[in-house]
Amino acid sequence: MELFFQLVITGIVIGSIYALLALGFTLIYKATDVVNFAQGELLLVGAYICLHTTVTYNVPFIAAFFLTLVFTFLMGFCIEKIFLRRMIGEPIISIIMLTIGLSSVLRAIVTIIWGTDTLTFPEVFSQAPIVVFGLSISQVYIYSIFAVAIFLGLFTIFFKKSKVGVAMRAVASDQQAALSMGIDVKRIFALSWAIAAVVSAVGGIFLANINGVNTSLSHFGLKVFPVVILGGLDSIIGAIVGGLIIGILENLAGGYIDPLIGGGAKELFPFVIMIVVLMIKPYGLFGTVEVEKV
Amino acid sequence: MLNVNNIEVVYNDVILVLKGLSLHVEEGQVVALLGSNGAGKSTTLKAVSGLLRPDDGEITDGDITFMGERIDRKDAADIVKSGIFQVMEGRRVFKDLTVEENLIAGAYTQKSSTIKTNIDRVYHYFPRLQERRNQVAGYMSGGEQQMLAIGRALMASPRMVLMDEPSLGLSPLLVKEIFSIIKMMNEEEKTTILLVEQNANMALSASHYGYIMENGRIVLDGPSSELKENDDVKEFYLGVTGQKSFREVKHYRRRKRWLS
Ligand SMILES: Nc1ncnc2c1ncn2[C@@H]1O[C@H](COP(=O)(O)OP(=O)(O)O)[C@@H](O)[C@H]1O
Ligand SMILES: [Mg+2]
């Protein structure tokens, strides 16, 4: 039973990071119709930047964390302006190719600068586990869950209450109508990329604190697909539910099935779920068929 | 206030839809733009508000000025900031946003501090929107959606509103309500209105001046009270029978004029 709870807790930590990634992915997809295959590389860059700032320049972790957010915000903004802006109106397949190209380029840049060895943060969070209900949980897990929850909460408020957040959803809903009320659609596109890069970086930084960083961390980007298929593209709640379900199930699979078959189940599981869900409900479990009324 | 000067609009680089269209809107007035389906009314409004680009349309000739300033090269956001707001055909509410979020989106160009008072003003005019403030807009009736679309325009405190067929698909009772709202906006809010309508009778009753367009051009214009009495208009737009095309009538009218 102890194993079960440990696996579930790890699943929640990883799943909450999936939720962040899914939020970024959904944001770009809904606002700009771009399927972003470089989501995992945004995470990777964020993790390396924060690690580099902390280790090389001896900046305190908290400061490095926020500096990284500023940097990745600008990076996301520029990626949209430089690469995706001129692709507006081009065939979807070309745009997908562009984001795949972008993912390779980002990964290559990271490899050139930081190499392929796994790098680790200095001890940011105390190694001493905290014992909750007889389960010992490492501190970084707890910080990670709280940080992710705070970010998701902030974004929920931003999208519900702020003028710009509402405008972003308006653009996702009807671009021309949004334009008719003076909403600067191009700015919103760039902002979507900027926010997607920021949330990915947050995920990347915590993953790096848990396991260290190397380029394989970018594989997390692909997990976004089962998560959004499960949670739908409509809401932050969907992303959270989808993220947690995938995170928990893949860890359980890793803990119980992998020892029997010698590995692989953990990696495979999310995509099996994705395929099954797609066959039963093409809009995702929590996705809605568009509201339609004249 | 608004001068549209001999404009040509082309879609997809080849389809010429407006062929030298001119019109003028005086400050404080309601001006009706009438014409049958496909005449180019929506295109005219989108040319003014800068919304042609998403439809792959372009102004290829002529110019448009608003308050003495050229706006035909400006983008949509700047045109809204200069005071023109279009209520698009088909209402175009953000279906998965709530009523209040739709209103907030309408206030995008306004200072955040004014949003609250503007929302209250809209609710004052449309109590029904207040009752449904947290409801998702897509589930509202057509009339409520139209009110929301107009409320969204009020949120931007525009000097001039372009309305594209606000009465389309509404019951006679609601049509009356929409027209009384238009009158209210014009008289109480001092908003100048360019009104596109198929319902010529109502539109001419509610407006000061009218333009009638066909096939990308203005074919007739005058004070609305006179247009209402004009025999050709009566015959073709006010439902007093009609088999001949308007062009023939125009031709016939010209001949008449030439004879007299
Ligand atoms: N996006 C578009 N691309 C090509 N042609 C268009 C487009 N929009 C409108 N048209 C054409 O322009 C003409 C005028 O359309 P429109 O301005 O919508 O007329 P109205 O509003 O008077 O019914 C029609 O013949 C229509 O087919
Ligand atoms: Mg039209």
Residue A291 pLDDT more than 70? Answer: no
Domain assignment present for residue B199? The answer is yes
Residue B244 pLDDT more than 70? Answer: no
pLDDT of residue A199: 94
Average pLDDT score over residue span A55-63: 92
pLDDT of residue A289: 55
Structural domain span for residue B227? 2-83+158-259
Average pLDDT score over residue span A135-159: 91
Burial profile B175-189: b = 16 or more Cβ within 10 angstroms, e = fewer: bebbbebbeebbeeb
Domain assignment present for residue B149? The answer is no
Average pLDDT score over residue span A1-10: 89
Residue A293 pLDDT more than 50? Answer: no
Domain assignment present for residue B223? The answer is yes
Q: Write a three-state SS string for chain A.
A: CHHHHHHHHHHHHHHHHHHHHHHHHHHHHHHHCCCCCCHHHHHHHHHHHHHHHHHHHCCCHHHHHHHHHHHHHHHHHHHHHHHHHHHCCCCHHHHHHHHHHHHHHHHHHHHHHHCCCCECCCCCCCCCCEEECCEEECHHHHHHHHHHHHHHHHHHHHHHHCHHHHHHHHHHHCHHHHHHCCCCHHHHHHHHHHHHHHHHHHHHHHHHHHHCECHHHHHHHHHHHHHHHHHCCCCHHHHHHHHHHHHHHHHHHHHHHHHHHCCCHHHHHHHHHHHHHHHHCCCCCCCCCCCCCC
- Does B244 or B94 have the greater pLDDT score? B94
Q: B169–A293: do the CB atoms touch at under 8 Å?
A: no
Contact with chain B for residue A234, Cβ under 8 A: yes
Contact with chain A for residue B41, Cβ under 8 A: no
Domain assignment present for residue B132? The answer is no
Domain assignment present for residue B131? The answer is no
Q: Are strands A130-132 and A135-137 parallel, antiparallel or unpaired?
A: antiparallel
Rounded distance between C-alpha atoms, residue A179 and residue A176, angstroms? 5
Residue B104 Cα to chain centre, angstroms: 22
Please state the domain count of chain B: 1
What is the distance in angstroms between the Cα of B80 and the nearest Cα belonging to chain A?
Answer: 5
| Side chain identity at residue A73, one-letter code | F
Domain assignment present for residue B45? The answer is yes
Residue B180 pLDDT grade (very low, low, confident, very high; cuts 50, 70, 90):
very high
The model's pLDDT over B106-152, given as tens digits with 9 standing for 90+, comes to: 999 999 899 999 999 999 999 999 999 999 999 999 999 999 999 99
Mean pLDDT of chain A: 89
CATH no. of A2-280: 1.10.3470
Top mutation candidate among B14, B16, B43, B214 for ligand 1, by most atoms within 8 Å of CB = B43
* Best residue in B46, B74, B93, B96 for a mutation probing chain A (most A CBs within 10 Å): B96
Average pLDDT score over residue span A127-145: 87
Task: Give the count of Cβ contacts less than 8 A between chain A and B.
Answer: 93
Contact with chain B for residue A292, Cβ under 8 A: yes
Average pLDDT score over residue span B162-177: 92
Minimum mean pLDDT range among A185-194, A204-213, A270-279, B216-225? A270-279
Which residue in this structure is represented by tokens 């001896």? A58
pLDDT of residue B240: 54
pLDDT of residue B46: 96
**Domain harbouring B186, CATH code:** 3.40.50.300
Q: A182–B77: do the CB atoms touch at under 8 Å?
A: yes
Q: A170–B115: do the CB atoms touch at under 8 Å?
A: no
Domain assignment present for residue B71? The answer is yes
The model's pLDDT over A75-121, given as tens digits with 9 standing for 90+, comes to: 999 999 999 988 877 888 898 999 999 999 999 999 999 998 889 88
Q: B139–A291: do the CB atoms touch at under 8 Å?
A: yes
User: What's the ipTM?
Assistant: 0.87
Residue A222 pLDDT more than 50? Answer: yes
Rounded distance between C-alpha atoms, residue B180 and residue B165, angstroms? 15
What is the distance in angstroms between the Cα of B36 and the nearest Cα belonging to chain A?
Answer: 22
